Chains A and B, each alone.
Chain A
Amino acid sequence: MGKLGLIIKREYLAKVRNKSFIIMTFLSPILIVGMIVLIAYLTEINDSEKRIISVLNESEFLSKEFEPTESMSYVLFRDLTLQEAKDSTVSLGYYGLLYLPKGMDLENVAESSYLFTKDNPNTSVTQRIESIFQKQLLQKRLGKLGVSSEQFSDIEAQFEINLAAFSGEKSIKGINEIKAFIGGGFGYAIMMFIIIYGGFVMRSVIEEKTSRIIEVIISSVKPFQLMLGKIIGTSLAGITQFTIWILSASLLLFLIALFFGIDFGVMDANASMPRGPIGGVAQFSNSLDSDTMLYANEILNIPWMLLISSFLIYFVLGYLIYSSIYAAIGAAVDNETDTQQFIFPIILPLMLGIYVGFFSVFSNPNGPIAVGFSLFPLTSPIVMLMRLPGGIGEGGVPLWQLLLSIGLLIVTFLGIVSLAAKIYRVGILMYGKRPTYKELFKWLRY
């Protein structure tokens, strides 16, 4: 085994055998699953109330479609103006008002129908109402177009009800968010990984400094080898931990679902948007619902291979960049309390990536901010992954942007790692002083 291999092995074992690491590894899935179960349980309780929707139907369509269900019932208003209907809905304390205007055909009526609610409507309510419309529209369109399966899904995907608050603003709801959430999930995973395991790298460097073993070691290996071995070893430990988390959490969820019969679909349908790939998986199993089919379809349409392979590229490069910065910080200081001033500038681009990503990519995946942040190397691992579920090329990310972003990331990687290695090399042998940025800059020239 080469020296690098020895270092990787030691770092890995040191991390994996650490008691707090073991406890975290096995406790976290239980905590996470516990949370999910609790949330699912609470949502079920929360959702058990019956909702009443008043319907003001000025058209001749859909007159017989509003059948009460377990959780919803309808009150039909007649001969009221829209304003009167709104007022009575509010004063009667109903959940919302569904308004269907006069119209010549179903299409027009459906297009200009509104659901008025006090707050943003619950997804299960909108889904229920949308499905009433969809059924009718489907029947009508099928008649016109002839029946084939492609056309079926085509038609099905076309309708969404308009939403509005009583005040009149339109609320939007779209598949973009779902996609960005899935990409965001990957980006978020990268960020968490960097923050957790980058911190581990840093602490491990500080430990070597404070235990004074560092000079013994670098008289046998190059500082760069040690730094690289540390980063790789720690990240392998991290990947082990992540894998255990995902496997055991899914196993636990599966077992709990099996034994207690909790329907996790409830949670997905009720959350304003499904979160990440796990939400997506849960939805496949629950695909009886036609709206869920719609989501499922979109999720299947996401270029998973592209997404996963880019995830790996961005993950490796992004993690190497950040963890080498963490290693340099660890080398520059004598104890963890001195790291604060240096940590913040690292966390900043990561946070910026997540938040700017969530806001800008959601509203417009190809807007200038989204593009800018998905090219900028310190935020691109997160933001580009949010954009990628839209695919490459038409309607998605232009290929040149993806390539440029990866290219910039590689250049930055080489630059940052060599700078970090310089600071590391000098820093590990410096004791006693709390370095300033100015001093770090001087070290680069030693």
Chain B
Amino acid sequence: MDNILVAKNVSKSYGNYTALSNISLEIPKNCIYGLLGPNGAGKTTFIRIINQITYQDKGEVLFNGQPLAPEHISHIGYLPEERGLYKSMKVGEQALYLAQLKGLSKQDAKKRLKFWFERLNIGDWWNKKIQELSKGMAQKIQFIVTVLHEPKLLIFDEPFSGFDPINANIIKDEILQLKDKGTSIIFSTHRMESVEELCEYIALIHKSEKILDGKLSEIKKEYKNNIFKIGLEIEQNGDALLKQLEEKFNILSSSFDFQEKQLDFTVQLPSNNTRDVLLEISKQANVNRFEETIPSANDIFIQTVNNKEDNG
């Protein structure tokens, strides 16, 4: 069994509004999985189904190979997009309460809380109320509460929204360490650039449908379109050279800097064969830049959506 979570043809609608339509996903164990898509695409609905907050109308969700059931709740940690804590409750009591709701015993919860409080420098806040804390501190506590019961699957919905950069970094490091310890992690976000570097797998969701999923590196390979950025050092006016190149290659854009005597352009090649172009340009000038452009998740998303709309 390699997948922590498998969704098969999951659909959900609210009245006339379809929130999810026929979503099938496989989320491998011990990886970081990005659930990407714009606001309102259906990500949160899907996550709520995993957390058994709502239920799918059709389809099946398997957790660790078994149909999702109430006892799985204690193996899932969830940091919702809309998150908060009881403002007038003391930090320690609150953390204990939430941990016990996840099935931890009081003693275990206390022990682990001590560990985490030390780790994230929350030593003497135990008896303070949440409303006395700064937002950053409250976020740390929220994070601890999410991971305290050592879930097999962690779900973060818009994890970094509302976190200040310093705390966001601390949290990011902690998440990576949890992954190293074997936890599977789902990131859901509409700000794709924020998690792209972390994710090994992604699924793109658009208008309640999955439009793309798989290993990020493979997707990127697939979406590479042989566009290269080239920079040349030249002595004279670049126009003549550019014209000459345009006869042989498909130049997409170009710019020429007089002072620096630098010609930059992007070129679309028919295949991943770069030898011809390199040969040609190295005859003309010194090459100081030659780089394949790799599409970002955002580019891939836009491209896929456009393709879909053109076809549809």
Partner-B contacts on A (CB < 8 A): 1, 3, 6-7, 10, 14, 18, 207-208, 211-223, 429, 431, 442, 445-446
Contact = CB atoms under 8 A, between A and B. Distances in A.
B53 A215 contact: yes
Nearest to B145: A216
Contacts of A211: 84-87
A220 B73 contact: yes
Contacts of B15: 442, 445-446
B101 A217 contact: yes
Given A215-B53, A446-B15, A220 B102 contact: yes
Query: Which among A1, A215, A219 has the greatest number of chain B C-beta atoms within 10 A?
Result: A219
A216 B79 CA distance: 7
B223 to A, nearest CB: 34
B89 A212 contact: no
B51 interface: yes
Interface of B: 14-15, 48, 51-53, 70, 73, 76, 78-80, 82-89, 97-98, 100-102, 142, 145-146
Nearest to B142: A216
A6 B86 contact: no
Nearest to B15: A442
Please name the 10 residue pairs, one residue from A and one from B, whose CB atoms are nearest each other, closest first: A212-B84, A220-B101, A215-B80, A219-B78, A219-B51, A211-B84, A212-B82, A213-B84, A220-B102, A211-B87
Nearest to A211: B84
B78 A216 contact: yes
Nearest to A221: B101
A325 B83 CA distance: 25
B15 to A, nearest CB: 6
27 contacts: A3-B101, A6-B100, A7-B101, A10-B97, A14-B89, A211-B87, A212-B82, A212-B83, A213-B85, A215-B80, A215-B82, A215-B83, A216-B80, A216-B84, A216-B142, A216-B145, A218-B53, A219-B51, A219-B53, A219-B76, A219-B80, A220-B73, A221-B101, A222-B70, A429-B48, A429-B82, A446-B15
A446 B80 contact: no
Contacts, number: 67
A144 B51 CA distance: 85
A309 to B, nearest CB: 36
Contacts of B53: 215, 218-219, 223, 429
A213 B80 CA distance: 9
Nearest to B76: A219
Given A215-B82, A446-B14, A14 B88 contact: yes
Contacts of B82: 212, 214-215, 429, 431
A219 B87 CA distance: 19
A331 B145 CA distance: 24
A213 B82 CA distance: 8
B248 to A, nearest CB: 57
Contacts of B48: 429
Contacts of B70: 222
A216 B102 CA distance: 10
A220 B100 CA distance: 9
A212 B76 CA distance: 19
Nearest to A13: B93
B213 to A, nearest CB: 24
A445 B86 CA distance: 30
A215 B47 CA distance: 11
A167 B85 CA distance: 69
A425 to B, nearest CB: 8
Contacts of A18: 88
